[in-house]
Structure 1
Amino acid sequence: MTVGIAAAVGALFALGTFLLLRDDIIHVVWGVAVISQAANVYLITMGGIREGTSDTVPVLGTRYAPFPATADPLVQALVLTAIVISFGMTAFALVLSYRAYQENESMDLREWE
């Protein structure tokens, strides 16, 4: 499970970096959005549940081996806030890129003065 999550985070960071290096401004905006989501996944994994920390489920109160202890709610609240902020910033960046397209009549960054 840990290797799969690490591979997913690495793939998201790689995809975001690939998109950041494109010439199209929309790809750059989406690259920033993907990298921010990769950082959120990384934070959730680092502040999440650790296997073997508890043998009881808080709701049931009985021993049930497959379920570890609960995750830290502070990390989840901070990541939820980061998701909302990154959504707003992505929408703002897309509006700015549309305005730049209206001014320059091109989405290619190399054609801009």
Structure 2
Amino acid sequence: MTIPHKYIIVVESYLPPRIHLKDNLPNIGIVVELKSLELPNRVTTAWLSERFNLSRKTIIEKVGIYNKGDENKHLYDPKEVIPILENLHLQNEKRNSRRKN
């Protein structure tokens, strides 16, 4: 008999997934642990840059008006800035006009 391996799946959603402990997922395995991650009240630019893979300078430029800290310590309310950073790619696509030949 072989020893089962442990795998971690991360799901981001507005509603909790409909998975319960001891559920048998076909071709995957059995659910043995569920965890929920709660967002802190204030997040730093380092936390945001790690989550969205953006530079600190870019984050400060895009969401600097929502700064709850001071000039040196940039703190943001995650409920305000996460939707903006998630939709940042939509703003960047419309930046340049189409080229005519």
Task: Give the structure-2-normalised TM-score.
Answer: 0.25
Higher relative contact order, chain-length normalized (CA < 8 Å, sep 6+)? 1
Task: Give the structure-1-normalised TM-score.
Answer: 0.23
Q: Write 1 or 2 for the structure with the bigger share of strand.
A: 2
Q: Write 1 or 2 for the structure with the bigger share of helix.
A: 1
